[in-house]
A and B are shown apart, each in its own frame.
Chain A
Amino acid sequence: METNLCVAGFGGQGVMTLGKFLASAACDATEKNVTFFPSYGAEQRGGTANCFVVISDGMIGAPLGDVMDDLIVMNGPSLSKFLKTLKPGGTLFINSSIVDEKDVDRDDVKLVKAPVTELALEMGNAKVLNVIMLGVYVGYTEVVPPEVVWDTIEHKLGKKPKLLPLNKAAFEKGLELGRAQK
């Protein structure tokens, strides 16, 4: 069993952090193989950001493939760029606050929607949209047990404990949304 995930969005949406949290959780609390691969360019700010996470029971060859099992898109340009890489029957997770469902021009993929930009703003901090989306993804796929992912987030945020309650709420909101769309 191998899961290939691509996470894509604007720079600043926490796309890399989302991928790293997931990969760290898989490393820390499972026996599975895992890779995290960030795509990188010359620009320091702006533009699109994307990363690839592979979680597998077997040996991992390419840390990024041509064909994705799952795709998380946080903005419109990422949808047009990456939707073609999603395999038939794969799952597309969209930030429905700013990605228009009508732009999903494929009917051979599963669609999971989460208005994470709006939800983050409602929770009082626009930055937690990636943690909400991570919750959605883990709640829907259970590729790694949700409690393990939360342990990892808690550990990584260890130096900023006052951010923990907000992130906890964000992650649980995401889990709830993800589970509801199973």
Chain B
Amino acid sequence: MARVLMKGCEAIAEAAVRAGCRFFAGYPITPQNEIPEYFARRMPEVGGTFVQGESEVASVNMVYGAAAAGTRSMTSSSSPGIALKSEGISYCAAARIPIVYANISRGGPGVGAIQPAQQDYFQATKASGNGGFEMLVLAPSTVQEAVDLTYAAFDYADRDRNPVLILADGVIGTMMEPVELPPMKTDEEIAAIKAGKAKWACTGHQLDYANRAWIQPGQWNTQIMQQENEKAAALYASWEKDVQVEEYLVEDAEVVIAAYGVSARIGKSVVDLCRAAGKKAGLIRPITVHPFPYAAFDHINYSVCKAVLDVEMSIPAQLVQDVRMGVKGRCPVETCLCSGGNIMSREAVLRAVDAILDK
């Protein structure tokens, strides 16, 4: 398979098309405009549908409708736009409708900065809408990984009948990198996926009250509502098996960098620089930021590790709270942060590592 140079946003869109996504609705916002623009060109070629919604709110609900009718469907946005979509995402979670969406995140809060940031960690992992639902949240750190995770996201979404979030940032979204694209699902495969949803999808059924499709993002009956929430909780608990994490040179590390997404690739290059200089650094990179790979922090040798360094493009730090839960007080947790659309620099991380090692 030949590699091609692709922009992150376009690669995410192409991976979705190849996974069988045949409906996309979105609304312009920087830095993710290349996603809707790519779908606008690409969907007609594969018999799919692209709609530019009148708002983020409308777009996510178009996706809710298309997915509720059985089609693999996607939307995307960036931070403030994702906030607007949160109601629709909560509805999808409550009604158990599989959708995939991407947040190419930028600075915040408010309108923030249009440049890259990782300010949406809590929003993505803790409360993507009202009601305490959970989602698999996948955080790529390369364009290739963005492709692979987007492709897989549709399978996860269908398996669980639940939304899946691709949490990327403006660097991953706008940079170009060589990728190998996954195989294109055939029309037959896509039809089979849709047919597999025929029982619950709202497309019309033979008259039979008990077997109609009734998509309910809520319940009037409190007992049934509780049962639905208990079923959802059991689903979320089952995701332990889906945790993905990269552990890099952790075992003997005197300092372990904890980072996800673009900060993690920068952190990994710092580990390489350190090791080349005889300094024992390592990296823990959550790929699923929800569920979080807490167990990876048990692999640190706390008798030699001086500190875990949380590296993220967010002020105040957010990831650090999960890192602390993983470390459980076994060593100090320090931070190396930037924000506002400024991109994490390798030199800044290197200085932070050195400061820990020199203590």
Give the interface of A toward B (CB within 8 A).
20, 23-24, 27-28, 33-38, 40-42, 58-67
Contacts and interface: CB of A to CB of B under 8 A. Distances in A.
B171 A37 contact: yes
Contacts of A28: 5
A36 B176 CA distance: 5
A20 B268 CA distance: 25
A59 B272 contact: yes
A23 B5 contact: yes
Contacts of B268: 59, 61
A24 B5 contact: yes
Interface string B318-349: 00000000000000000000000001111110
A27 B4 contact: yes
B3 A60 contact: no
B226 interface: no
Contact of A61 (B4, B30, B31, B266): B266
Contact of B345 (A27, A41, A65): A65
A28 B5 CA distance: 8
A20 B174 CA distance: 12
10 contacts: A24-B5, A36-B5, A36-B176, A38-B174, A40-B31, A40-B115, A42-B30, A59-B268, A61-B267, A63-B177
A59 B344 CA distance: 17
Contacts of B266: 61-62
B46 interface: no
B219 interface: no
Interface of B: 3-5, 30-31, 114-115, 171, 174-178, 265-270, 272, 343-348
Given A27-B5, A34-B5, A36-B176, A64 B30 contact: no
Contact of A63 (B4, B175, B178): B175
Contacts of A34: 5, 177-178
A114 B177 CA distance: 29
A60 B114 contact: no
A61 B114 contact: no
Contacts of A62: 265-266, 269, 343-346
B270 A40 contact: no
A37 B267 CA distance: 18
A35 B269 contact: no
B30 A40 contact: yes
Given A23-B176, A36-B5, A37-B175, A65 B114 contact: no
B272 A66 contact: no
A20 B176 contact: yes
B4 A59 contact: no
Contacts of A41: 114
B247 to A, nearest CB: 16
A33 B178 contact: yes
B111 to A, nearest CB: 11
Among B4, B171, B175, B348, the most chain A Cβ lie within 10 Å of the Cβ of B175
B346 A27 contact: no
Contacts of A42: 30, 114
Contacts of B346: 61-62, 65-66
A50 B176 CA distance: 14
